[in-house]
């Protein structure tokens, strides 16, 4: 499976951000990619107003999603990103969407909200309480995660035990001391924990690091971006995944259970 990972700097005008998403979808499709992963919270962002993502939240029936669905109507590219979707007055859900064939084929409300490093995402965002579904893309089973979920190995493991071959992760990973090291280390760790491919897209604005990655099941980076807007590609190989899991059968050898979410 050919995967594409797009990163860009989200700005405060949602109409411009949707155009960027549409352009990346068109480029990925033109190269034969079957999966495109874009960053977290691509609706709107403003360095001077940390609440803009929630203030700009739309509904599932609004224009941002409609335009993405229309773009996808006549091809088999699966596009994954997150948007803030309205819940109650002044609040929203950080919602991952998988779009293919003109419709949203799966959605996931972010479980682990970023209440860390002096940030409190839960102040205006409602957490989910259900693990995301697996989706199938080009014969691979794909597990869905969002940003801060990366720090919780039991989530990645739950998805792998449910059958995931690939973990995808839209993110907006904040800059800070050692944060780039955390990002690269955790991506490799989740790949090794699960013997899954990990496909991660990072927003690359002034406050976020970018550094999108595709990591193979042995924790090796096979495609990477820096801090600038980019569209990178990698080939995921089912035969190689099978070989790795035969050589390193951690999913079979494990002796501890993973608590199930209610």
pLDDT digits (tens, 9 = 90+) for 46-57: 999 999 999 999
Indicate the pLDDT class of residue 10, thresholds 50, 70 and 90: very high
- State the Cα angle at 225 between 198 and 100, rounded to 5°: 55
Given 21, 40, 121, 204, the catalytic residue: 40
The dotted CATH code for 2-253 is: 3.60.110.10
Does 262 score more than 50 pLDDT? no
Question: 20: closest CA among 33, 9, 34, 4?
Answer: 9
Given 110, 121, 196, 204, the catalytic residue: 110
Mean residue pLDDT of the chain comes to 96
Asked about 110 being catalytic, the answer comes back as: yes
The per-residue pLDDT for range 121-143, each reduced to its tens digit, is 999 999 999 999 999 999 999 99
Does 162 score more than 80 pLDDT? yes
Asked about 40 being catalytic, the answer comes back as: yes
Average pLDDT over residues 155-180: 97
Please state, in angstroms and as integers, the Cα–Cα distance from residue 102 to each residue in 113, 133, 143, following that order: 29, 19, 21
Q: With H, G, I as helix, E, B as strand and everything else as coil, classify residue 67.
A: helix
The per-residue pLDDT for range 54-92, each reduced to its tens digit, is 999 999 999 999 999 999 998 999 999 999 999 999 999
β-pairing, 35-37 with 78-86? Answer: parallel
CB neighbourhood size of 22 (10 A): 16
Given 21, 121, 147, 204, the catalytic residue: 147
Asked about 2 being catalytic, the answer comes back as: no
Query: What pLDDT, on the 0 to 100 scale, is given for residue 259?
Result: 62
Q: Where are the domains of the chain?
A: 2-253
């Amino acid at each position: 499976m050919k995967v594409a990972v797009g990163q860009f700097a989200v700005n405060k005008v949602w109409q411009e951000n949707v155009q960027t998403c549409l352009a990346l979808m068109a480029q990925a499709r033109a190269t034969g990619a079957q999966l495109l992963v874009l960053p977290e919270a691509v609706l709107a962002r403003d360095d001077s107003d940390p609440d803009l993502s929630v203030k700009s939240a739309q509904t599932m029936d609004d224009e941002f999603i409609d335009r993405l669905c229309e773009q996808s109507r006549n091809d088999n590219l699966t596009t994954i990103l997150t948007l803030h979707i309205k819940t109650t007055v002044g609040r929203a859900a950080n919602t991952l969407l998988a779009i293919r064939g003109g419709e949203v084929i799966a959605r996931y409300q972010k479980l682990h909200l970023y209440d860390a490093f002096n940030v409190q995402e839960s102040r205006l965002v409602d957490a989910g309480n259900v693990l995301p579904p697996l989706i199938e893309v080009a014969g691979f089973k794909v597990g869905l995660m969002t940003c801060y979920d990366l720090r919780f190995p039991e989530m990645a493991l739950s998805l792998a035990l449910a059958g995931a071959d690939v973990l995808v992760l839209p993110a907006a990973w904040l800059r800070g001391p050692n944060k780039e090291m955390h990002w690269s280390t955790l991506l490799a760790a989740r790949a090794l924990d699960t013997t899954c491919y990990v496909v991660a897209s990072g927003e690359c604005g002034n406050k976020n690091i970018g550094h999108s990655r595709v990591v193979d099941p042995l924790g090796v980076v096979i495609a990477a971006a820096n801090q600038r807007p980019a569209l990178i590609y990698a080939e995921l190989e089912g035969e190689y995944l099978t070989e790795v899991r035969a050589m390193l059968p951690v999913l079979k050898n494990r002796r501890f259970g993973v608590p199930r979410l209610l």
